[in-house]
């Protein structure tokens, strides 16, 4: 029995070491998987950037991977993640799975302060949904303001993967693993010290639907890498980075909360 336990521990150690190398390669620095069943904290399973639920959001059983977070379109309800300089990274990739209802004007992620209108536009990450159902990426680079209007409607109450990739020179929009459009950034994106809002912004615009597998990489992911993240899920990239223990499997975290 002792030999079996040692062998199992060694197998898990090797498995986790491989995953850790994979995570370091992609530079995943924060991931919110929404596996909690109660409470007002969404754990960052990689870093220390836990999010606080403001208002009324609910944990929901049927996410894209495991559980998820449900939004009811209340503008005073969102996930707030405190500022960390890591979110000013250049390059970076932001990813999320969303399942949105058909509704005018919704928000995915806002990071330019807790009040509206903001005193100065310093938009490093800004994604919202147009009334017609397509995503919009916005950013600020010095005196230049950039905006990408997507071509894909994602407010159809189905799961869609959204990724914003900034490589230092351009901004790319990926929807469901396919590059929807790309635009030069026209300079280095502005940085700020604002918190992240997931699912709303201070201008009373909020999401209606489900959010799952939100992640931030300090790396411009390729199309193939984005598709791997989509199919495998962030958990496999986060495991060892999150727990730093060789004998704990992600299944224990994912299913035992």
| Interval 227-256: pLDDT, tens | 999 999 999 888 744 444 333 333 444 443
Residue 74 DSSP one-character state: -
Residues forming beta bridges with residue 172, ordered by sequence position: 165, 182
The closest alpha carbon to 52, from 32, 68, 24, 67, belongs to 32
Decide: 129 and 135 in contact? Cβ < 8 Å: yes
For residues 101 and 4, give the distance between their C-alpha atoms in angstroms, rounded to a whole number: 50
pTM: 0.86
In terms of pLDDT, which residue wins out, 3 or 28?
28
Residue 50 DSSP one-character state: -
pLDDT of the residue at 167: 97
Neighbours of 90 (CB within 10 A): 15
Q: List the structure tokens of 132.
A: 């017609």
pLDDT of the residue at 3: 52
| Interval 127-150: pLDDT, tens | 999 999 999 999 999 999 999 999
Least confident interval from 52-61, 187-196, 213-222, 244-253: 244-253
For residue 106, what is the domain's CATH number?
2.60.120.200
In the predicted structure, residue 22 carries a pLDDT above the cut 60: no
SS (H, E, C) 153-196: CCCCCCEEEEEEEECCCEEEEEECCEEEEEEECCCCCCCCCCCE
Decide: 209 and 224 in contact? Cβ < 8 Å: no
pLDDT of the residue at 25: 60
| Interval 168-211: pLDDT, tens | 999 999 999 999 999 999 999 999 999 999 999 999 999 999 99
Least confident interval from 22-36, 44-58, 80-94, 232-246: 232-246
Q: List the structure tokens of 124.
A: 């490093």
* Domain count across the chain: 1
The closest alpha carbon to 220, from 183, 160, 169, belongs to 169
For residues 155 and 36, give the distance between their C-alpha atoms in angstroms, rounded to a whole number: 25
pLDDT of the residue at 238: 85
Decide: 51 and 42 in contact? Cβ < 8 Å: yes
SS3 63: coil
| Interval 108-132: pLDDT, tens | 999 999 999 998 999 999 999 999 9
Range of the domain at 18: 2-256
The closest alpha carbon to 234, from 84, 32, 61, belongs to 32
Per DSSP bridges, beta strands 106-110 and 92-100 are unpaired
The closest alpha carbon to 80, from 41, 119, 33, 127, belongs to 41
Average pLDDT over residues 71-89: 97
For residues 127 and 207, give the distance between their C-alpha atoms in angstroms, rounded to a whole number: 11
Residues forming beta bridges with residue 13, ordered by sequence position: none
In terms of pLDDT, which residue wins out, 25 or 88?
88
């Amino acid at each position: 029995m002792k030999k079996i336990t040692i062998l199992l521990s060694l197998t898990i150690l090797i498995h986790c070491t491989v995953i850790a190398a994979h995570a370091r390669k992609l530079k995943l620095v924060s991931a919110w998987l929404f596996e909690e069943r109660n409470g007002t904290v969404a754990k960052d399973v990689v870093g220390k950037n836990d999010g606080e639920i403001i208002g009324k959001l609910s944990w929901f059983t049927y996410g894209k991977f495991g559980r998820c977070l449900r939004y009811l379109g209340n503008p005073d309800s969102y996930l707030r993640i405190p500022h960390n300089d890591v979110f000013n990274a250049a390059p970076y990739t932001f990813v999320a799975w969303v399942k949105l209802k058909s509704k005018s004007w919704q928000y995915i992620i806002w990071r330019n302060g807790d009040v509206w209108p903001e005193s100065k536009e310093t938009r490093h990450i800004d994604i919202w949904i147009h009334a017609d159902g397509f995503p919009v990426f916005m950013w600020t680079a010095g005196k230049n303001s950039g905006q990408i209007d997507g071509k894909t409607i994602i407010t159809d109450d189905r799961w869609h993967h959204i990724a914003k990739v900034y490589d230092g020179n351009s901004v790319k929009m990926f929807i469901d693993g396919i590059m929807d459009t790309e635009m030069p950034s026209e300079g280095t994106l502005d940085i700020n010290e604002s918190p992240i809002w997931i699912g709303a912004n201070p201008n009373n615009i909020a999401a209606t639907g489900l959010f799952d597998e939100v992640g931030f990489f300090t790396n411009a992911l390729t199309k193939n890498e984005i598709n791997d993240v989509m199919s495998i899920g962030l958990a496999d990239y986060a495991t060892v980075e999150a727990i730093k223990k060789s004998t704990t499997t992600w299944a224990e975290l994912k299913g035992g909360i």
